[in-house]
Each structure stands twice: as structure tokens, then as C-alpha cells.
Structure 1
Amino acid sequence: MTSQTHDKVVIVGGGPSGTAAAAELARHGLKSVIIDEAPKLGGVIYRGPLRQTDSLPHLDDNLKRAMTALQTRYQAHSDSIEVKTQTRVLGPEGSNQLLLSDNSGLSRQPYGHLILATGCHERSVPFPGWQLPGVMLLGGVQLQLKSGLVRPGQRMALVGTGPLLPLVACQLHKAGVDVVGVYEASPFAKLAKEAVALLNKPKLTLSGMSMMSYLKKHKIPFKYGWGIVSAQGKEQLNSIQVAPYDSQWRAQRDLAQQVDVDAIGVGYGFVARTQLAMLLGLDHHYSKVSGYVPVLDEWHQSQNHEAFVVGDSNGLLGADAAICEGQLAALRLAWQCGKITEAQLSARSTKVKNKLARIKKFRFGFDRFSDRQSGLLSLAQPETVVCRCEQVRREQLDEAIAQGVKDITSLKMRTRIGMGDCQGKTCSSYALDYLHQAGLTENIGVIKPRFPLDPIPFTLME
């Protein structure tokens, strides 16, 4: 195991927020090192293909421009930015250093200043058949299209809520997939009420309208107020049942329709990826939209003044907001390190904060539209597995709550939910929602991450 020492700012995550922070630091004479588990920078949204291609006809021009802008931002300051790709952060080790894992083994990364830009992961919603091959989360569908350059299926449907649904539907159709239907859980009337909020980002709103026009032109059904009921198949998905949802997103099963598909994309939201922040001891609070998020000041700095948290790892606001947050954290660090004056900090940050405020108004409109309703929890039947790692069924949660369990730790000890290798990334959000539905909202806690965050192969410990 090797140890490295330097005075660079350490940034965990090479997506929009991490890359923006590194570029802003470089503008003010501060060097940084970006650590990312993927083979290239960009994060899930802007990483792009992992192999050479002549064109990307299935991706829209706005996305391609944003991918190019991120690479340009990095290249303009590459002399001041060290990049460690295909490297995982396993957690903190000792004082002011992280334990890393890559193909060559384990190493330690000391830091004087730390920016966490770890992003988010998708929110899993259990329903009968959700474990079948062919049932994918929406972000995974996008990764196959954008990074793998493969079609996830031949005949697909999309279910869920939010702006990713029409975007991915257009991408799939342009890639040659037969998109047989898109099912948005919220009613259109709820979206119409957010017209004023959406005008805070008129270009994005027009882009969304363009996507809907594309779907209509190509006769791809888009149904508001509908969602998943179940998935069917033996060794592979071959059909799904969808149905209208009521105002609480309870499926009206008597009106269910069967749709023949070989794959589906499921997208009922995301959860901030905060396991590393928790291991570092940062305070967190619960958000219905994003899960547990760190407690931060206006500069995205934690009570542990060595750590900033930016991007989707402190709340789900999208790539444009993530860039602003990365810039704000970097500006604050530049001021703390004496690289800019307080007047320069104020002048530069005011513009960024104003832009971020507009983005938040836009995003909060979508959050209200896509507000997750409790009826979604009723999709899982008593025998449905809700924790894949430990094969915990929903009926086991019911039994534990009936016996007096009132918090997530007790639920974990009673049922083993969250004890698997994923450390609750897949199941903890469902478990928290389930406790809330049972009327348990006070001091229910969180499934705490364990060190190391990822298993360490024996070959790396030699």
C-alpha cells in the first residue's frame, strides 16, 4: 500500500460539479486532483461513449454541446488538474486521508481540502417482477445508450416520473428501439400548474416541448397519470402491466393493460449518494426528494470545514446547478487560501448564486410535479423481494413493524434489510418510505455506511 503527499485540493467525483470546481480552482492558481471510478470524466450524464464512434445520432444537440463544454473546461486547465480514473474511494483512513483502490492496489490520498462531488444513485421501487432481466432503471438505460453505444432492448416501455422520461424515450427511438409507450405517474394538470416555475429556464422548457412534439410526431404514446403494476416473464421479461394511478399513485388494477416488451426503463427518482460524507462524520438531514443530505452553508461547506459537498450529492438539482455549486465551493476555497480578495469573491459569486437561484425555482417546479406519493409503496406484494442482497420480502417488514419496530436500525436488525454488499443503496429508500407510511417519522435514523464502501478483492491486499 502506497501513500502520497501533496497540497492539492482533492475532489471525489469527476462529473459536472467536480470538473467545474477543478477548473475554477485552476483559474485562481490552485491545483487539484480528481478521483473518479469511471474510465473518463463527465459523470453519468456527460461521460459519453467509452469507445470510439463517428457520430451520436441518438443524442440531442444540447447534450452533445454540454459534453463538449465539460471536456473543454477540463482541457483549458489540465496542467493544474491531476485525474485519477478507474479509482474508487473506499472511505476515510486516519486523519485527513482517503483509502483508494485501483487496478494496481491500495493507496492513501492525503488532503488538506476536500470537495465531495459523488453524485446520486437511482431510487429503486420494488414491484412484482422487478428482478427480471430486462427490467432496468432509467439511468442504466441511458448509460447503455450514451456510454456503451448499445440498444438496451428492441421493444421497450418507460415508466416513472420526471423530465428524464421524454428525453430517454427520444434517445431510444433515435437509436432504433421500438418505444411502445411512456407512462408518467403524475397527471398533466399538475404539470400545467408549474408553468411559471418552468419559465425560469425557458430554453430547457422549450427543449422539453420539442421532445414531446417528437414523440407525438412518431406516434409514441405518452400517458400522464399512468404507471407500472407488475412485470412478467420466466427467465426474461416479456410483458408488463400498466394502469392508471389515482392522486396518491395507487394503481387502479381493474383498469390494467398488458404491454408486450423485452425491456423497460423504470425511473421514479434519485437519491443523493452520501455514504462517504457520512463516513467522514458530516451532519445530515432528511429530504423527501433526495434522501439524507449533508448540512451545508451557502458555500456548500460542511461543519467539518475541510469538506465541501457539491452537485447531486447534496440535493437533486441537475447538471447546471451542479456546475454552479462546484464553482461556489472553489471560489470560497480560493478566498480561504488567499488567492482572491473578499471583493472578488463577492463579485464572482453573486453572478453564480443568481443563476443557481433561477435553476432552483425551475427544478422545484418539477419536484412538485413529480412529488412521490405513498401509493407507490403498495406495488410490492407481501411476497415481493424488497432487498435484493438479503432477499428480504415486504411481508417481513410488515411483521417487524407490527411487532413494534420504530426505526431503520431496528428494522435492519430484525429483517437484515440493508446488510448486503450494496449497504442499503438499493433498499434503504424504500424502507424509509415504508416506515413513514406506517406513521413512524421521528428519530427513525438511517442505514449507516460501513468501511470499506466497496469490497476489497484479496488480490489488492497482497
Structure 2
Amino acid sequence: MPEPRHPGDRAAPRQPHDLVVVGAGPAGMAAAATSLDGGLRVALVDSGPAPGGQFWRHPPDHAHDAVPTEDLHHDLRTYRSLRAALAAHERTGRLTLLLDHHVWTTAAAADGFTVHAVDRGSPPEERAVVLRAPALLVATGAYDRQLPFPGWDLPGVLTAGGLQALLKGGGVVAGRRVVLGGTGPFLLPVAAALAARGAEVVALCEAAAPSAWLRHPAPLLRHPAKWAEAVGYAGALARHRIPFRTRTGIVGAEGEGRVAVVRTASLDADGAPLPGTERRIEADTVGVGWGFVPQLDLLLPLGCDLADAGDGTVAAAVDAGQRTTVPGLYAAGETCGVGGAALALGEGRVAAVSVLTDLRAPGRPGVRPLAAERRSVARHRAFARALAEAHPVPRDWPAWLTDDTTVCRCEEVTAGAVRAARTDGPASDHRQVKQLTRAGMGWCQGRMCGPAVHCLVAAGAEPYAPAERLIATPVTLGALADSGGSPADGTPSQPI
């Protein structure tokens, strides 16, 4: 596997970029490779140490052989093919691959876009990097959606995605006795991977009922591979004797200094706990996942329209070519709605063909592959919509909360305070709650608590839309000052 390289390892090419791609997950990798094959000069920027995103997260290259994780991945053939293609283009100088770079803001200008990033791969100092190009493609993925419950702030309570990231990124099993809960098929690979690495998954609690899929037979019939995947996970659960409990939720966690007991309960059709069904399970780790929230921080300041994603969130509104409503700005992958890696790959390729067409690049791909990819994207998007309808966030999940349950962990705002802001404020959305209670003003900037606060206040009337932030990630004052006069080719700017 090719070693990732950083700008400090060699002189960056001085040729101008045609396209900047932010995010090197499946969508970003596919978009960059297709654009490069079509003759563009591309800068691919990602905060991770290697391409792949969360889906293809691997241990650092220096530890890759020591920490085997191949069995935790899907479609590695595509991943290796994309990495090889990117490495080949990097050797020719057409690709500038900027890893360990965190993009903190983007801006539009008459001649294209400016992308501001900080290089965090060359400690001890952060270095400012500024990229400019006539086209910008944002493929920043999504992050775990969390719903609070009493005790969710105890050490040992993690997101399901966090548990998987520890496994894929370092072969780390977070605990020995694990309870998983939430909704959606993402819980299945997490349970299987934990069990395969020696953890005892003592309960897998799915809030939805499997019968919900009977209302959406067409998307299932069009995706036989999904059936095969589900059968494989069912076999893994059976082999490891993992109890799978439907219509069940994690409603509390207890412990002194760390989680020791998990409380679960059967749920009614709207998600409220049924009296007399509570169970207490000894465990040292909890993993909870309620789907994902599209990462829109870089798109919101640019003013592109958003659309209801159908799962209680909003996503970037795009046309059939993955163009946003801002000329020259494209989006692909889970920024357009959560739908899995196959959908993200297709959207990345479609977006790249649109960029090639709009920039009139020589040697761009023809219409036939684009039509095939569009059909694939439409098929996978239909499956994603069916998935969201079969695994919704339960309407009455706030019934789990006591008034002293912490909702915003950064600012220690309780459910009682949020409810008071709604009734006494009166606050109608999470932005007004933030003004009244400071919920969402902490280190995570509402990424953990924002969807939950919105549900508590808006009662599901409107999908959750994150607040616009000019600065998407923490940045030092030195790097901020240094970003004003740097060159446009991706090289670090000189200190002021």
C-alpha cells in the first residue's frame, strides 16, 4: 500500500488546481480519481492520516502489518484500486494529497473558491494552507447521532461509530462486556466485529421492529446483496450467541466512575418504555447509535440550499449531477444524505463527471458511464430512504429522560433546563435553546447534543439543521493569522 505523503515531505507542485475535494472517504476518493482520469489537476484534502474515511479506516501505515484489520472491511478491492489510482496521479504531480489537514472554512469568490486548512501532520506547530480552484467538491461524510439517557455521560459509554473506529484504527476493543443499542443495521457489523475480537456482546438492542421492512419490499428486492450481508451478520450473532432484542432501548446506565450496569426496556410503537419490562445488565461498555447526521459545516457558509434527508436531518440539496445550488460547488456522499459506501462511491463519480463537463476538460468521460452511475445512485438512494423509514428515531424517546439528565455534556445543561427553555422561553428550536441555556456552546459545538435538543424542543415538527459556523474546527490564532497571505498552490504559508 503506498505511503501517504505530506506537503513537508517534498515541494508541492506549483500548477494551479482545477478542483479541490474536501474529504477522502469513498465519495471523495472516487471523485478525485475520476476527475484526475479526466485530465484535471486536483487537491484532495482530509483530516485523517490516510485516505479511506471512516468506512475504510485503517491503522497508521507504520502499524498496518502489526494490527490486522482486513476482516473488518467491505469491498477492499475498490479501496485498493482507488488508492493505487491516486498514488499514480500523485507521482505525476496532477494530484496534491494533503493528509492530516483540517479544513476550517471555505469562501466563494468570482473566480472560484478558497479553502482554508491547517496542517496538523507536522508538529509541534500548525501551519496554515490555502487552496484556490474554480470548482469545489465537499464530501465530508457524517457523524454519529446520539440521544441522551440517564448515565450516558459515564466513562465507558461510546457511540457505535466510536467503537468501530477504535477497532479499525488500532485493533482496540473498548471493553469486555458490551451492550449495544439504538437503531439501524450499522449496529450489526459493530457487534460482529467486537465479538470476533473477543468481547462479550451481552445484548444488542434494536429499537425498531423487523416487520417495518415489510412496508418497503421493492428496495429490498432490488438489493439482493443486502440480504446476503444481513444473513452473514445473523450467522455471526448466532455463532457468538449475541442476544438480539427488537423493540428494546437502552434507557439508563449506572456506575461509580465508569458504567457498570445498563438498564434496558421494551418500547411501545412510539418508543416509550413499557412499564414492568426494565432489565438490568452488568456491562463495562455501552455503544449507542441512532444513525448519522450529515456534516455540513463547510457548505453552510457558502449558502447552498438544504433538503430534508427523510431521517430527521437535512442534507445538501443537489441535482442529478451532484451540483449544489451554488455554481461550481458540488457535494457527494453522506453530506447529501446517509446511504452507505456504495451510494457514496456512485455520487462521487457522478459529481466528478459533472465537474469535468462544467469545466469542459479535454478527455472527459462520456455520457454512458454517467447514466449507469446515475441509475445506481437512484437505486441506492431509494434503499436509503426505505432504511430511514424502517429505522426512525422513536418519537417518544424523551420519555427516557429525567429532568436532571445531562443533555449537553460540554456545558452541563440538563433536560429540565431545555424543557424550561421551551415552556418558559419559549424556545422553538435548538438555536434559541443555545441562547437561553448555553446548550451547544461547548467544545463539540452542538454536534453531540444538537439533534437531541432539537427533538426536545421542536418535537419532530422539522428536521434538524445545524447552525452555521464560520470556523468548522478549532484553529490556533497563529494559523488563523497566517492564512491571510499564503500561496494558492497548497504549500504552507510563511509566518507573518
RMSD value, Cα:
2.4
Q: 2:467 matched to which residue of 1? A: 448
**Contact 1:58–1:174 (CA under 8 A) maintained in structure 2:** no
**Contact 1:160–1:184 (CA under 8 A) maintained in structure 2:** yes
Structure 1 Cα separation of the partners of residues 357 and 73 of structure 2: 36
Q: 2:161 matched to which residue of 1? A: 139
For residue 44 of structure 1, give the secondary structure of its aligned residue in structure 2. Answer: coil
Q: Where do residues 154-303 of structure 1 align in structure 2 (5 Å cutoff)?
A: 154-289=176-311, 291-303=313-325
Q: Which moved more, 1:331-340 or 1:15-24?
A: 331-340
Q: CA deviation at 1:288?
A: 4.5
- Give the TM-score, by structure 2 length: 0.86
Cα separation, partners in 2 of 1:39 and 1:321, compared to 1, 3 Å = same
Cα separation, partners in 2 of 1:5 and 1:23, compared to 1, 3 Å = closer
For residue 451 of structure 1, give the secondary structure of its aligned residue in structure 2. Answer: coil
**Contact 1:46–1:70 (CA under 8 A) maintained in structure 2:** no
Determine which of 19, 24, 28 is the counterpart of 1:14.
Answer: 24
Structure 2 Cα separation of the partners of residues 417 and 424 of structure 1: 7
Q: 1:74 matched to which residue of 2? A: 86
Determine which of 334, 356, 381 is the counterpart of 1:360.
Answer: 381
Structure 2 Cα separation of the partners of residues 455 and 365 of structure 1: 36
Structure 2 Cα separation of the partners of residues 175 and 409 of structure 1: 42
Determine which of 386, 389, 392 is the counterpart of 2:410.
Answer: 389
Amino acid at match of 1:100: A
Structure 2 Cα separation of the partners of residues 105 and 235 of structure 1: 38
Offset from partner CA, 1:197-244 (integer Å, 9 cap, x none) = 222221222111111022113321111111101011111111100111
Q: 2:393 matched to which residue of 1? A: 372
Q: Where do residues 274-353 of structure 1 align in structure 2 (5 Å cutoff)?
A: 274-289=296-311, 291-339=313-361, 345-353=366-374
Q: 1:84 matched to which residue of 2? A: 98
Q: 1:46 matched to which residue of 2? A: 56
Structure 2 Cα separation of the partners of residues 67 and 239 of structure 1: 40
Q: 1:56 matched to which residue of 2? A: 68
Q: CA deviation at 1:151?
A: 0.7
**Contact 1:38–1:87 (CA under 8 A) maintained in structure 2:** yes
Cα separation, partners in 2 of 1:233 and 1:433, compared to 1, 3 Å = same
Count of aligned pairs between the two proteins: 457
Structure 2 Cα separation of the partners of residues 25 and 158 of structure 1: 40
Q: CA deviation at 1:284?
A: 1.9
Q: CA deviation at 1:123?
A: 0.5
**Contact 1:125–1:430 (CA under 8 A) maintained in structure 2:** yes
- Give the TM-score, by structure 1 length: 0.92
For residue 91 of structure 1, give the secondary structure of its aligned residue in structure 2. Answer: strand
Cα separation, partners in 2 of 1:55 and 1:349, compared to 1, 3 Å = same
Q: Which moved more, 1:68-77 or 1:299-308?
A: 68-77
Structure 1 Cα separation of the partners of residues 432 and 374 of structure 2: 41
- 1:114 and 2:136 are equivalent in the alignment: yes
Structure 1 Cα separation of the partners of residues 88 and 203 of structure 2: 43
Q: CA deviation at 1:5?
A: 7.3
Offset from partner CA, 1:124-152 (integer Å, 9 cap, x none) = 11100001111010110000001121111
Q: Which moved more, 1:34-43 or 1:98-107?
A: 98-107
Q: Which moved more, 1:21-30 or 1:79-88?
A: 79-88
Amino acid at match of 2:137: I
Q: Which moved more, 1:203-212 or 1:73-82?
A: 73-82
Offset from partner CA, 1:101-133 (integer Å, 9 cap, x none) = 113411221121100001001101110000111
For residue 229 of structure 1, give the secondary structure of its aligned residue in structure 2. Answer: strand
Structure 1 Cα separation of the partners of residues 226 and 84 of structure 2: 22
Q: 1:33 matched to which residue of 2? A: 43
Q: CA deviation at 1:325?
A: 0.6
Amino acid at match of 1:268: W
Q: 2:119 matched to which residue of 1? A: 102
Structure 2 Cα separation of the partners of residues 44 and 445 of structure 1: 23
Query: Unpaired segments of 5 or more residues in structure 1?
Result: none
Q: Where do residues 422-441 of structure 1 align in structure 2 (5 Å cutoff)?
A: 422-437=444-459, 441=462
For residue 414 of structure 1, give the secondary structure of its aligned residue in structure 2. Answer: helix
Q: Which moved more, 1:21-30 or 1:73-82?
A: 73-82
**Contact 1:11–1:33 (CA under 8 A) maintained in structure 2:** yes
Structure 2 Cα separation of the partners of residues 251 and 236 of structure 1: 24
Structure 1 Cα separation of the partners of residues 256 and 199 of structure 2: 23
Offset from partner CA, 1:233-278 (integer Å, 9 cap, x none) = 1111111001111111112242111111110110111000001100
Cα separation, partners in 2 of 1:49 and 1:405, compared to 1, 3 Å = same
Cα separation, partners in 2 of 1:111 and 1:332, compared to 1, 3 Å = same
For residue 206 of structure 1, give the secondary structure of its aligned residue in structure 2. Answer: helix
Q: CA deviation at 1:451?
A: 2.6
Identical pairs, percent: 27
Q: CA deviation at 1:72?
A: 3.7
Structure 2 Cα separation of the partners of residues 428 and 5 of structure 1: 41
Structure 2 Cα separation of the partners of residues 150 and 113 of structure 1: 39
Cα separation, partners in 2 of 1:405 and 1:440, compared to 1, 3 Å = farther
